[in-house]
Chains A and B, each alone.
Chain A
Amino acid sequence: MAEKLVKRASPVQRLSHWIHMVAFIILALTGLGLYARSFFGLTGLFGGVDVSRTIHHFTGIVFFVTTFIIFFQWAHAITAKGEDNMIDVARSYLDHNFHAPAGKLNFGQKLFGMFAFVVGLVMSLTGFAMWFPFVLGRGLQQWMYFLHNLCFIGFFLFIIVHLYLGTFGNPGSWRIMTVGTVTEGWAKAHHPKWDTEDG
């Protein structure tokens, strides 16, 4: 019973997301170690503070670049006008018999796409400010540390939900990351208004 498969993510989209993901894990682990006394032990994973900081800085550049690549790969779908809204999306996650009338991306995914781009950008810019802290001046620099922290927490919360919905929460989704295709049934159920011929 080989079901018909629909292409959902191109190799470039998948590869850039994989790089982004690995960069995020490295950034989170090194960053936490550099953040507070209670997480200081994490710097030991990478061979000390200096190594952690250097890895954090240069992995940050990778994250910065892939933030742009991913956003522009998905920009068309993120900005597309849809028929669904946040209430539909929330309902579809709570009631499995209800399917939000979503296009290629549902309203929540579009929101996440925008959020990931903006936060990725703010994380990168505040990160550069922390790398070169004597450029902006005292008052502004103090806010950079706070913003970097705020965006990390926001991003981390979304990542928890994103990871769940892309794996256990919606069986059949993880293969988008591995082979880039979904079954036709998956596409019809999760994205009824998605014109799969059009991509």
Chain B
Amino acid sequence: MAGKMILIDTSKCTGCRACQVACKQWNSLSAVPTRNRGTFENPPDLGYNTYTKILFNEVEKDGELAWYFGQHRCMHCEDAGCMKACPVPGAITRDANGAVVINQELCTGCKYCVFGCPFNVPRYDTKNAEGYGADKAFKCTMCFDRLEMGQQPACTKTCPTGALFFTEKARLPEIAAAAAERGLTVYDGGSLKTGVVFLLEDKPEEYGLPAKPAIPTPTFLWRTVMKPLGIAAVVAAIFGVIAHYSFIGPKDISEGDGEGGEH
């Protein structure tokens, strides 16, 4: 797919969270009142009004403090768990740029996507949030509306250090080679082929990313395996019953009583 990609070079991130602010501004998302929770991380979690959040991880490296900045946001997978889980036609779609977008006008609030996501991203809202009505799921849209106008997402546009970078997905091999020279590893979601790619200085877990990202096993079984299997089994059972009726026939006692009365 000739999609676009948001590149996150964690070695360049300073934790300024301008991306969080730009995201809220463009998407008209309300603020979450700040409370001291003993961490620089703020707000506490993704939500209907928070599509992206910088994670602060303090670690000791060579006897000194090192700060790893991760970003929790929709990864825009090519093999998307939310889309697999969604039961409503058109409620979650992927556009030509690779942006996976929830259409709140169609979302029915079933919450399947919330549990189908490998990265724990979509958030469900019970209130009448942002004027969409109650009971909808929300997440990052890759600013698909900006992309349609030939612009880049608000977060990459605003990033002052170049940690967030918007480019063609096709450039990944060349970027990966350059990153390897700088000792960075590429995190692209493996088989999920995420549209958000991290360049990491350490293990994925240090940045709040699953080491082996995959669509949750029960979700895969539920959506991909059970449906065709179930339909096939039900059709087979119906044909089995028809076959029994046709070839063996009903067990009619009134006519079978005379000859088969061995009891």
Contact = CB atoms under 8 A, between A and B. Distances in A.
A35 B87 contact: yes
Interface string B232-260: 01100110010011001111111011011
Interface stretch (B40-48, B109-117, B151-159): B109-117
A171 B253 contact: yes
Interface of B is mostly: helix
Interface of B: 86-89, 108, 110-112, 114-116, 120, 216-219, 221-223, 226-227, 229-230, 233-234, 237-238, 241, 244-245, 248-254, 256-257, 259-260, 262-263
Interface of A: 34-37, 39-40, 49-50, 53, 92-94, 96-99, 133, 138, 141-143, 145-146, 149-150, 152-153, 156-157, 160-161, 164, 168-172, 183, 185-186, 188-190, 192
Contacts of A92: 251
B250 A161 contact: no
B241 to A, nearest CB: 4
Contacts of B234: 153, 156-157, 160
B114 A37 contact: no
Contact of A97 (B230, B233, B256): B256
A34 B248 contact: no
Nearest to A145: B222
Nearest to B219: A142
B115 A50 contact: no
Contacts of A35: 87
Contact of B241 (A99, A164, A170): A164
Contact of B229 (A153, A156, A183, A189): A153
Given A37-B88, A153-B233, A133 B222 contact: no
A142 B218 contact: yes
**Interface hub of B217, B245, B253 (most chain A Cβ within 10 A):** B253
B108 A49 contact: yes
Given A37-B87, A37-B89, A161-B241, 5 more contacts: A39-B87, A53-B108, A94-B248, A169-B241, A190-B253
Contacts of B227: 36
Contact of B115 (A49, A138, A156, A169): A138
B254 A172 contact: yes
B219 A157 contact: no
Nearest to B241: A164
B263 A146 contact: no
B218 A146 contact: yes
Contacts of B245: 164, 168-169
Contacts of A138: 115, 120
B105 to A, nearest CB: 13
A160 B244 contact: no
28 contacts: A35-B87, A40-B88, A50-B108, A53-B108, A53-B110, A92-B251, A93-B251, A97-B259, A142-B115, A142-B217, A145-B218, A145-B219, A149-B222, A149-B226, A149-B230, A153-B229, A156-B234, A157-B233, A157-B237, A160-B241, A168-B250, A169-B245, A171-B254, A185-B254, A186-B253, A189-B257, A189-B263, A192-B263
Contact of B253 (A50, A150, A161, A189): A189
B163 to A, nearest CB: 29
Contacts of B233: 153, 157
A133 B237 contact: no
Given A157-B237, A169-B250, A40 B87 contact: yes
A53 B110 CA distance: 9
Nearest to B238: A160
**Interface hub of A93, A94, A169, A192 (most chain B Cβ within 10 A):** A169
Contacts of A99: 260, 262-263
A168 B244 CA distance: 10
A92 to B, nearest CB: 8
Nearest to B229: A153
Contacts of A168: 245, 250
